[in-house]
Structure 1
Amino acid sequence: MFSEVVWKKPTLWHQGLSSDRLNYLERAISITFFAGLTALCAQIAFAVPWTPVPYTFQTFAVLATGVYLRRNDAFVSGCVYVLAGAIGAPVFAEGGDMLFDSGKLIASGGYLISFPIASAL
């Protein structure tokens, strides 16, 4: 009798855990929120004379994105942030709105491109 209880398979528990049934609206809101948080933290910046790249709180936001969201969602959030800046939204540090300047990547462009990867790790 004990073995019947142990080996009896539940019938519907796995349907609630299916990745197909996740709340996509909640995921989209989370992705947008963390892209906005990264943009907001980019505005908290201070320049130092020895480098053209300012110090910002973007790193905190990128790492918080990686801690809170799933790997794929964190990557998408980072991509949304970088693409928003690439199309001209003033989301980069100190109100920067371009990823390229005269055909060249801006000084902090390498950091910006690596943000989606860093948040996914």
Structure 2
Amino acid sequence: MTHDAPLLHGRNPALWRQGALILAGTVLIAVAARVSVPMWPVPMTLQGLAILVVGLSMGSRLGALTLLAYLAEGAVGLPVFAGGGAGLAYMAGPTGGFLLGFVAMAWIAGLAARGSLPAMIGASAVAALALYVPGLAWPYAVASGLGIDAGWASSEAGALWAGWMQPFLLGDAVKAVLAAVLVHAGFRATGR
């Protein structure tokens, strides 16, 4: 029997545990996506909070894998995105850049997994801000780079700031602190 035999027979407990954690993370994010405050151009949901919790509790690698799995679920048509959205057409819409940025958000937050509370808050804040890079690049690229005239696309910095970033900053700051406090308290309570 080779060293790889348990994996080939599906008996690798670490692999099963990681798969279960990824599935649980995608379910948490999908449920959080349903808690929505209507705003334009994208709704404000608890997705960001759930993604930060996933990254902080699972670490960078497993957190990023969880978000890739979440995106794959949405791409194949499972209604996991905000408002029950799903499919590639949804992913190419206004939220496309933010959806891709979720992977980086979880990865960055995961850099502080099992760290001190200040480290977790800092990583969460940086991760929340980093989400705006692809989030704002997407409507800019659609409007100016691709030349597509979509009502939500814009190549003007003022419009991107006013409609895509500024309304969400306070909520993102609260989510960053809350995620860090929740995960840190959870680790302390479980002795991890």
Render the CA deviation track for 1:74-109: whole Å, top value 9, x for unaligned.
1110001111111111111011112425xx811111
How far did residue 35 of structure 1 move?
1.0
Which of these residues, 11, 16, 24, is aligned with residue 15 of structure 2? 24
Where do 5+ consecutive residues of structure 1 fail to align? 1-20
Deviation of the 1:22 alpha carbon: 7.1
Partner of 2:79: 90
Structure exhibiting the larger radius of gyration computed from Cα positions: 1
- Please say if residues 99 and 109 of structure 1, whose CA atoms lie closer than 8 Å, have aligned partners that are also in contact: no
Which residue type is aligned with residue 21 of structure 2? Answer: S
Aligned pairs for 1:16-95 within 5 A = 23-48=14-39, 51-95=40-84
Distance in 2 of aligned mates of 1:58 and 1:99: 19
Q: Which amino acid aligns with 2:34?
A: Q
In structure 1, distance between residues paired with 2:18 and 2:45: 26
2:101 maps to which residue? 114
Whether the aligned pair in 2 keeps the contact of 1:31 and 1:76 (CA below 8 Å) is yes
SS state of the match for residue 79, structure 2?
Answer: coil
CA contact (8 A) 1:39 1:92 kept: yes
Distance in 2 between residues matched to 1:99 and 1:115, nearest whole Å: 16
Identity of aligned residues (%): 28
Q: Which runs of 5+ in 2 are unaligned?
A: 1-11, 109-192
Rate the CA distance shift 1:72–1:22 in 2: closer, same or farther, 3 A: farther
Deviation at 1:67, TM superposition (A): 0.5
Q: How many residues are treated as equivalent by the alignment?
A: 97
The 1-side partners of 2:30 and 2:67 are apart by: 10
3-state secondary structure, aligned to 2:87: coil
**Higher helix share goes to which structure?**
2
Aligned to 2:135: none
Q: Deviations over 1:7-64 (max 9, x none)?
A: xxxxxxxxxxxxxx8722111111110111001100111212xx22001000001100
